[in-house]
Amino acid sequence: MQPIASNGYSVFFNDGGYNALNSLLEAKKYSAVFVIVDSNTNEFCLHDFLSYVATEIEVEIIEIESGEGFKTIETCSEIWSILSEFNADRKSVVINLGGGVITDLGGFVASTFKRGIDFINVPTTLLGMVDASVGGKNGVDLGGLKNQIGTINSPQMVLIDTAYLQTLPQNEMRSGLAEMLKHGLIADADYWRHFNDLSKIDFADFDELIHQSVVIKNNIVTQDPTENGIRKALNFGHTLGHAIESRFLLKEKPLLHGEAIAAGMIMESFIAMRKNLLSAEEYLQIKTVIGSIFDKINFDDQDIDTIIELL
């Protein structure tokens, strides 16, 4: 698959990505290399990743707990302290190996440490590959609210190795599908139609669907890097979805990001239909396709009140 040029960096895929990574490490002559992982990527991805990395510098590993609940300033503070203990300087680089939590948080850590050091994103989840891989948004949650603190700052490069998807449970794969569906709905009807019947998808070609999804998002963010216009379309499903996700972070069984966004897309499509921005037929198709992939979420009265407060 061909690399995708974004705002000042490129997204590389599979073997070509490791070649690009090693070339970058050699050219930049970094003083230190730090890899941020969570407990999952440390177990399932780190060994394979390091086997492809060619650098004479000793790579330091920083592990955090997995999950949205650790995407906080407190976690950032712990990482900043570790970087300081290892004498990281402006010529150091941070490699974020993980899902969207790791790339969001790690990008924010690097963007703020010593007023900004280089970072590289290596997303290992489907959600991270098709959503967090492009756009330059980094950040953490605050007080149960999603992405309240953050920066817009681009990585040096993004490496997408789809082999990491083999380590994911099915619910994580579904979570990533939500963003792929969104990209089709907001920008590419032909791409959306690929998902109208999942039984007809040839998963041997799934790499190409991932590549197309990144292209769609990249075409939008390169036109509007600071989200003043067209980029706001990428928030489809997220106005309600983020409120739903924030509410369920407080419950015993939190929702995955894509699960909340899927519900948000159905609800926002219903609102669009009521405002005559969508036909009833279009709304029904969106509801049917998304509903065939994601389980229905049950809300009690307290959930609804809290979600409204979070909007």
Catalytic residues: 115, 137, 179, 217, 227, 231, 235, 238, 242, 257
d(Cα 166, Cα 206) in Å, to the nearest integer?
12
Spatial CB neighbours of 195, under 8 Å, sequence gap ≥ 6? 177, 180, 181, 184, 201, 289, 293
Spatial CB neighbours of 178, under 8 Å, sequence gap ≥ 6? 127, 237, 257, 258, 259, 261, 262, 265, 290, 294
Q: Edge-to-edge strands of the sheet including 4-5?
A: 4-5, 10-13, 158-160, 118-123, 92-98, 32-38, 59-64
> Quick one: which of 26, 29, 34 has its CA closest to 86?
34
Segments in 198-300 forming alpha helices (H):
206-223, 238-249, 257-274, 280-293
Query: What is the pairing mode between strands 59-64 and 32-38?
Result: parallel
d(Cα 91, Cα 96) in Å, to the nearest integer?
16
Q: 3-class DSSP state for residue 188?
A: coil
What phi and psi, each to the nearest 5 degrees, are found at residue 16? -60, -30
How many beta carbons lie within 10 A of that of residue 30, not counting itself?
19
